Amino acid sequence: MPESDRPAGTPPPSPAQPGWGAVKEHILANKITFGMFCTRLLTLFFTLNYFLPIFLTHSSQCYSKALMANAATSALRLHQRIPRVQFNRAFLGTIFLEDSAHYVLYSLIFIFGQPLTMALVPCVLFAVLHAASYFLTLLDRMGQQNSFWGARMLISFVEFQSRNSLRMAAFTEIFLMPTVVVFIFVGRTNLFTPFMYYRFLTLRYASRRNPYTRAVFMELRLSLEQAVQSPRIPDGVRTLTHKAIALVSSLAPVYAPEH
């Protein structure tokens, strides 16, 4: 499940009298969280215009702006998680333990290159999940339980599909790796992108809060190993597949569970 946007160790606020006043009070008391809600809506808006240029006609600019909004969301979340900045190596290591730092790096990897549609998929999925959850919070502050039933049903559907959405995001992030390698040979990216993206994948694999990247890697490995056991698979293909699995496994970082 997506991690909560509430700062670590902060107890949930006591509910005020329902209504627009309660919504305003909630927003004023949670400015960073509301700011992330707005940047997530911007991510969805620019992504929609990238695919369907209704309001904005420059698709490449919409692509960059969607990634900028995603980077802003991640930066705000990182500030929420680690509000005090320190200039030392230990602090830098602490930053890169945070999932939000991973997605700041992710956005920077793709933001300056030529548009790669797949890169927007994880941004959209996370934006939808978190924005829907926060929008439900705003509806609850309004206190109109019988109003906006259509929005509530849609949010319930999004939350019900959260596990599948997180798995899809992990799948996309993994398959982006061979995609950026291919893009080198067609001249659509530079030589540094695969190395930077490999670093991003190792951070996701070692994430302490989101296990989906590790789980998807394991599922892919088991599926390939099972598939090549078929007698119809040539020995050469079977050997090549096992060598590829061994190579990818050797590149995976050591995962240390959080105690």
Query: Per residue in 142-170, pLDDT tens?
Result: 876 556 777 888 888 998 999 999 999 99
Q: With cut-offs at 50, 70 and 90, classify the pLDDT of residue 1.
A: very low
| pLDDT surpassing 70 at residue 2 | no
- Cα dihedral sign for 182, 186, 190, 191? positive
| pLDDT surpassing 70 at residue 10 | no
Q: Report percent pLDDT > 90 for the chain.
A: 55
pLDDT of residue 114: 87
The answer to whether 174 and 106 have CB atoms below 8 angstroms apart is no
Element (H, E) at 177: helix 162-185
Q: How far is Cα 248 from Cα 252, in angstroms, rounded to an integer?
A: 7
| pLDDT surpassing 90 at residue 37 | yes
| pLDDT surpassing 90 at residue 250 | no
| pLDDT surpassing 70 at residue 137 | yes
Predicted TM-score of the model (pTM)? 0.86
Q: How far is Cα 123 from Cα 107, in angstroms, rounded to an integer?
A: 9
Q: How far is Cα 93 from Cα 164, in angstroms, rounded to an integer?
A: 30
pLDDT of residue 146: 56
Q: How far is Cα 181 from Cα 189, in angstroms, rounded to an integer?
A: 9
Q: Is 255 helix (H, G, I), strand (E, B) or coil?
A: coil
Q: How far is Cα 128 from Cα 51, in angstroms, rounded to an integer?
A: 16
DSSP assignment letter at 13 = P
What b/e string do you get for 86-108 counting C-beta neighbours within 10 Å, with b at 16 or more? eeeeeeeeebebbbbbbbbbbbe
The answer to whether 179 and 118 have CB atoms below 8 angstroms apart is yes
Q: Provide the greatest CA pair distance for the chain.
A: 70
The answer to whether 166 and 210 have CB atoms below 8 angstroms apart is yes
pLDDT of residue 116: 92
Q: What is the mean pLDDT of residues 213-220?
A: 94
